[in-house]
Amino acid sequence: MNSPKHIALGARLKHSNHIITLGLKPNFNDYSEYEKRLIRDAARIYFPTAFYADLFNAVGKDTFPSFHTYKFAQDKIRQTAVFEMLDIPHPFTRTFYGKRQKQQILDFFSFPFIAKKARGSSKGRDVHLIEGRKALFEYLEAENPAYIQEYIPAERDLRVVIIGKEVVLSYWKIPAGGNFRTNVSQGGAIRFDTVPARAHRLALDTAQKCGWDDVGIDLIEKDGTFYVLEANMKYGTQGFKKAMIDYKAFLEALLIRGKI
């Protein structure tokens, strides 16, 4: 029996007729001998999960999303480091470890500034606008390390979704009244106003340089220049719904066309 063309572990296209989804089994020997052969023979494994992505990378197995996409997920410290290394425009950001370094924050930043949970946070949670010492103290009591970023006042920011090697969707995020955060999960609104080509180029260039092939890149504009805020590997699909796009059908079409 010939192996099917597409094999997946994660369930994102579980109901597609074009892919066999095997599920996540952390004990590899829990897969049947047939399933093991499918995995070993597949040219590419789709949706390998964070558990298997680095293992497949170690043995030279191609995946979608890429190993690098998983590696940087929900890790703002790593993202900032790679942005700086690649000279990608990014708001001034520093990470402070331990009590001694935290005492230096006001040597680098003036109020107001942004403070975030460095790892494991998404959807605008654990993002704070720090306007004084009391708020800073409360943040530092709760978070270690401290991830501090310059505050860029803006009426909106931009989400650019890249799948494979293409920009597939982009939209502006508008904060709800009284909230500086633009996240849709925080009440932000989606608008499909024209997006400058230079913003698309920056997002696509960032994704390609970093090795990310399934990502939502957030950008903000300051004085006519776009800056990359962060990369969201677990981006929401509200923008697709707003654009009347069936996300799973769209993803399946990319698979069938060989785009991913």
The Cα–Cα gap between 4 and 255 comes to 14
Higher-pLDDT residue of 99, 181: 99
Question: What's the pLDDT tens digit per position in 174-205?
Answer: 987 766 777 676 678 999 999 999 999 999 99
Whether 74 shows a pLDDT value over 70: the answer reads yes
Identify the CATH homologous superfamily for domain 157-256: ATP-grasp fold, B domain (3.30.470.20)
**Residue 3 pLDDT:** 45
What is the pTM (predicted TM-score) of this model? 0.92
The Cα–Cα gap between 137 and 117 comes to 14
Identify the CATH homologous superfamily for domain 92-150: ATP-grasp fold, A domain (3.30.1490.20)
**Residue 123 pLDDT:** 65
**Residue 1 pLDDT:** 44
**Residue 28 pLDDT:** 97
- Which phi and psi angles does 97 have, rounded to 5°? -110, 135
The Cα–Cα gap between 84 and 81 comes to 5
Domain limits, the chain: 7-64, 92-150, 157-256
Question: What's the pLDDT tens digit per position in 102-157?
Answer: 999 999 999 999 999 998 876 667 899 999 999 999 999 999 999 999 999 999 99
3-state secondary structure of 48: coil
- % residues pLDDT > 70 (the chain): 95
Average pLDDT over residues 51-70: 97
Is residue 120 a contact partner of residue 74, using CB atoms and an 8 Å limit?
Answer: yes
